[in-house]
């Protein structure tokens, strides 16, 4: 057998135990085998120190843990109760800052909310206004403009009570809304629903509402051209083209305003304030800056400002206001000034403001009789061709100042169309068969009975305002050859010849007429002349001495 190792001696074992085992507390030792005690000490040293703490059973908790769990449970129950209560409350209550038809429904239940909305709608009125336009609608009662119950139910249907914590937080943090009756609705067609999409109560008379509003819009638009042109953009007070004047010609956009007005009613807003989008655009939708650029270019073309004078008086003015009518804009809004209309303008000006020859005039004779007469050759007459050239040059050169109207014929004074433009004149009254001569101050200087042309033989003296062409002594009046015998029908010598229609009809002495005929207003119907005005010889001589060539002779009934 193999040799076994020697067993240790008692001393050596004890030495080993002494080295490895600690001494008991206080240095006490057991009274028996040291080896056994040493082994136990060694095991005790390496094992957990269970002898120091009592053993704990699996799953046991401290009293503090029990309290925390209880508190957490109570909190969870409370939160569930609060959430459930919120769901219940906000399923039938309005959130803070909720407004319907201007009524604040914060924290109100359904019935209270309906009552408040209905109260807010009482005496509802809507005003649509801006840029000179104004229209007002007044509701007869609240039910006409709003279904309060439906409006409130619609709000509460969107309350989302399951999400009330988030909804409540947003409502509390949101800025309070202004009441609808303190705000305005803008007529911006791009942001408004179509007419048939705007919800209103069945009791609301939509057709009558729109008919009234549209009638007011049509009346307003009737005064505006709705287009961009030179005449409409020219501001007479400013003396130039202005953007504000151009914009004043915009027409209201009926569709946009109708929609804005109905939206305002649906929300019970008190006003619709017109904005730029309330009007139809000018020049195909050009921006205001584009219109301003076109206006600036047009203003560069109008520098002419001339007064047209005649007889020392200003008859008319050619300025920017008139030139504006001769400016046109192309599709690109480029302005062009044409001088071609100058000719037509001059013709119209001559007819209505300058040429009095043959025009109708009315005057009151110093004895009180009012006379209206037209025709004749006396008065003002312009040289249109020369005037057109002068004005075209003025426009081209942007002339400023006065232009004397070139004339073919002139009168004593200028007082305007339809008024007397003569000084001294001889008034021949065919009805009275009486002639009177007045000086320039209106004083009666001479008068006489007369015999005028016989209307029964087709020789009535022509009526009108004439000019005395000349005056001569000892002339022979030679008649026409109406009987075609090759000789004048008459050759009559007169001492005083004062013609006013060419050299054929005039005033003269008539020795062959009886004195009684000159005082008989009916004598001319049987002893009348061939058209001349017969005078007693002495009265003809007196007139001849005071009347002057160029004096006015007026023949009238």
Closest CA relative to residue 100, chosen from 139, 145, 151: 151
CA atoms within 13 Å, Cβ hemisphere of 27: 0
Residue burial 53-73, b: 16+ Cβ < 10 Å; e: rest: eeeeeeeeeeeeeeeeeeeee
Taking the CB of residue 43, how many other CB atoms lie within 10 A of it? 9
Query: How, if at all, do strands 313-318 and 240-241 pair?
Result: unpaired
Tokens 């307003």 correspond to what residue?
Answer: 220
532 assigned to active site: yes
- Give the separation between CA 158 and CA 306, rounded to whole angstroms: 73
Q: How many angstroms separate the Cα of 317 from the Cα of each of 156, 246, 389, 405?
A: 72, 23, 16, 11
Q: Given the residues 94, 426, 450, 508, select the one marked as catalytic.
A: 508
Using N-to-C axis directions, what is the helix angle for 206-221 and 254-267, rounded to 10°? 140
The radius of gyration of the chain from alpha carbons, rounded to an integer in Å, stands at: 58
Q: What is the DSSP string of 473-520?
A: EEEEEE---TT-SSS-S-EEEEEEEEEEETTTEEEEE-TTS-TTGGG-
Catalytically annotated residue among 94, 426, 450, 532 = 532
State the residue for tokens 């909190």. Answer: 75
- 557 DSSP assignment: -
The catalytic site residues sit at 508, 532
């Amino acid at each position: 057998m193999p040799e076994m190792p020697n067993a240790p001696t008692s001393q050596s074992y004890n030495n080993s135990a002494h080295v490895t085992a600690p001494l008991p507390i206080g240095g006490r030792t057991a009274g028996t085998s040291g080896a056994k005690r040493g082994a136990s000490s060694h095991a005790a040293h390496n094992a957990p120190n269970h002898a120091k703490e009592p053993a704990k059973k699996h799953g046991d908790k401290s009293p503090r843990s029990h309290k925390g769990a209880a508190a957490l449970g109570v909190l969870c129950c409370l939160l569930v109760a609060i959430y459930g209560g919120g769901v219940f409350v906000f399923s039938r209550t309005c959130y803070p800052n909720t407004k319907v038809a201007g009524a604040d429904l914060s924290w109100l239940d359904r019935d209270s909310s309906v009552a408040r909305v209905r109260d807010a709608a009482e005496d509802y009125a809507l005003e649509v206004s801006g840029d000179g336009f104004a229209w007002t609608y007044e509701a007869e009662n609240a039910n006409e403009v709003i279904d309060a119950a439906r409006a409130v139910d619609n709000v509460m249907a969107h309350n989302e009570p399951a999400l009330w914590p988030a909804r409540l937080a947003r409502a509390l943090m949101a800025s309070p809304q202004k009441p609808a009756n303190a705000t305005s609705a803008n007529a911006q067609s791009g942001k408004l629903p179509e007419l048939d999409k705007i919800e209103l109560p069945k009791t609301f008379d939509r057709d009558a509402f729109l008919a009234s509003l549209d009638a007011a819009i049509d009346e307003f638009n009737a005064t505006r051209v709705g287009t961009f042109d030179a005449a409409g953009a020219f501001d007479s007070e400013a003396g130039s083209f202005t953007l504000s004047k151009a914009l004043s010609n915009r027409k209201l956009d009926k569709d946009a305003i109708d929609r804005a007005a109905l939206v305002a009613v649906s929300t019970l807003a008190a006003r619709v304030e017109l904005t730029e989008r309330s009007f139809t655009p000018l020049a195909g939708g050009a921006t205001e800056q584009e219109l301003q650029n076109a206006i600036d270019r047009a203003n560069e073309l109008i520098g002419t400002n001339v007064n047209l004078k005649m007889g020392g008086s200003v008859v008319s003015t050619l300025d920017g206001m008139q030139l504006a009518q001769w400016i046109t804009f192309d599709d690109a809004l480029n302005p062009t000034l044409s001088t071609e209309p100058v000719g037509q303008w001059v013709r119209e000006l001559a007819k209505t403001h300058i040429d009095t020859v043959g025009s109708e005039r009315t005057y009151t004779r110093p004895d009180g009789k009012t006379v209206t007469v037209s025709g004749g050759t006396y008065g003002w007459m312009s040289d249109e061709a020369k005037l057109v050239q002068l004005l075209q040059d003025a426009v081209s050169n942007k002339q400023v100042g006065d232009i004397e109207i070139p004339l073919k014929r002139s009168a004593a004074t200028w007082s305007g169309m339809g008024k007397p433009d003569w000084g001294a004149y001889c008034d021949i009254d065919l009805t009275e068969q009486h002639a009177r001569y007045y000086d320039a101050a209106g004083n009666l200087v001479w008068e006489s009975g007369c015999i005028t042309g016989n209307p029964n033989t087709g020789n009535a003296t022509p009526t009108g305002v004439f000019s005395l062409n000349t005056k001569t002594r000892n002339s022979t009046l030679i008649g026409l050859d109406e009987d075609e015998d090759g000789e004048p029908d008459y050759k009559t010598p007169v001492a005083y010849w004062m013609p006013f229609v060419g050299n054929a009809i005039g005033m003269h002495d008539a020795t062959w007429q009886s004195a009684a005929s000159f005082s008989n207003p009916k004598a001319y119907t049987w002893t009348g002349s061939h058209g001349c005005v017969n005078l007693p010889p002495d009265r003809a001589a007196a007139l001849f001495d005071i009347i002057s060539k160029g004096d006015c002779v007026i023949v009238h009934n």
